[in-house]
Structure 1
């Protein structure tokens, strides 16, 4: 699957685009099975909200021994696939690198020689009746000023139908298409946000610079989202280690 020209244009103008029916029912089920296994593992160690902040990373939640998550795991396609195969079926990791990755390449490509990398992946799990909210933020600000030179895209993909009632995303689109990502200092609360009411398997592609937040889960069921992130170029930390993952989409 590739994004249409109109979807790519919407993304670059407003900082986001929602693609309905991005994943099939069968693929959603595969990601849900993995999410359930990882979440159950976290609950064996503590509380998903209090101890994990609702963020469950396949390679960072402890289901694999720390010694198994090596530099090869984090920076090569074969190493990443080998590690992910210990957690669930190959189809999940392949979908992340190929289907998600192909669309990320479309959005990040500048026509130059920089490659696109899988930067991070996580399940965002909000238990029933939880007040776990994420305040207004921009993903790019989690990185240093030097690292922000790398463009990133996050693909927020609900595995359950989502609305404000069970914890969806609210988006503050780029204010001025001619000056993407430049927000006024008093941006909070000045405009009506876009409420991402989405069906399971839809995908919300967000530029790392777009402002967004999410609501709590007031429903009686769990709400689970899968979110891979991709970067243009490998992002390194000050000690030359990778900031997170740096898995190339191509071997």
Structure 2
């Protein structure tokens, strides 16, 4: 059984993140790796059909962001709505929570691209400048050991970035399509953890990742959860609003998961980390 300490909870509230090394059970980690392989092939076939090498933020063989496909899987819900994730979500966004977004983030071997300094909420604000949402939690789940050599994530704590409770305006980088919100000198803190770890950080935390210089892929699965539905100006969910926790009770219903709390599954804009 995993335990999230009071010190880790306090760090999350103060600095915006907590780190849980090697907490994903082995059988669940194997399942996530198998699902990742399927979705990589799936996404390459989408780019083949389009006749492109770059699709939004994904660059074939170099960097992939594969968004919000969990309903196509027979197994992913078992991790997204697991007791393990319920513990992480309750400790970060609280006892009432919704699945907001989920994606695979994969850097290809030897040519895996960097990803620039940004806040996840910076992408929401880019598409909706009027947004006023509370920070949601990003759960950066490692399918491989991560290091500076294979492109791990670097975090910039709130106390050094001045980002607690604040979404910074971002600008778009040419060629990569990355949004950038920080151009200062602080390199951030590299996260070095084994496969099966969860790094939970709030969506106002600046983070980046380096290139993958190793001969193996660097694979991450990344579900995100919010304390309340994050809505567009028209009142529809921004990405998803699938009920998960209600006053600490897991209320996810797999048999009825065909729509979100606000109706049919909506068309989604990318929300990237």
Task: Give the TM-score taking structure 1 as reference length.
Answer: 0.78
The answer to whether the Cα contact below 8 Å between 1:126 and 1:167 also exists between their aligned partners in 2 is: yes
Which of the pair is proportionally richer in helix?
1
**1:147 partner SS:** coil
Equivalent position of 2:239 in the other structure? 244
Equivalent position of 1:141 in the other structure? 122
The one-character-per-residue Cα deviations of 1:65-88 (angstroms, maximum 9, x if unpaired) are: xxxxxxxxxxxxxxxxxx73x523
Equivalent position of 2:271 in the other structure? none
Alignment length, in residue pairs?
Answer: 221
Equivalent position of 1:132 in the other structure? 113
- The Cα of 1:175 is off from its aligned counterpart by 1.9
The answer to whether the Cα contact below 8 Å between 1:49 and 1:126 also exists between their aligned partners in 2 is: no
Equivalent position of 1:193 in the other structure? 188
- The Cα of 1:156 is off from its aligned counterpart by 0.6
Question: How many Å separate the matches in 2 of 1:180 and 1:19?
Answer: 21
Equivalent position of 1:105 in the other structure? 90
Which of the pair is proportionally richer in strand?
2
Is 223-232 or 190-199 further displaced after alignment?
A: 190-199
Equivalent position of 1:94 in the other structure? 78
RMSD between aligned residues: 2.7
The one-character-per-residue Cα deviations of 1:121-167 (angstroms, maximum 9, x if unpaired) are: 00101111224211000111122355332320101111011111111
Check if 1:167 corresponds to 2:151.
Answer: yes
Closer/same/farther in 2, CA of residues 195 and 93 from structure 1, 3 Å limit: same
Closer/same/farther in 2, CA of residues 183 and 142 from structure 1, 3 Å limit: closer
Question: How many Å separate the matches in 2 of 1:233 and 1:248?
Answer: 9
Question: How many Å separate the matches in 2 of 1:206 and 1:169?
Answer: 11
Equivalent position of 2:98 in the other structure? 117
- List gaps (5 residues or longer) in structure 1: 60-82
The answer to whether the Cα contact below 8 Å between 1:176 and 1:182 also exists between their aligned partners in 2 is: no
Question: How many Å separate the matches in 2 of 1:217 and 1:19?
Answer: 23
* Bigger relative contact order (CA 8 A; separation at least 6): 1
- List gaps (5 residues or longer) in structure 2: 59-63, 170-180, 245-250, 253-273
Check if 1:32 corresponds to 2:33.
Answer: yes
Closer/same/farther in 2, CA of residues 177 and 140 from structure 1, 3 Å limit: closer
The one-character-per-residue Cα deviations of 1:147-197 (angstroms, maximum 9, x if unpaired) are: 332320101111011111111101111126998356999964433411011
Is 124-133 or 27-36 further displaced after alignment?
A: 124-133
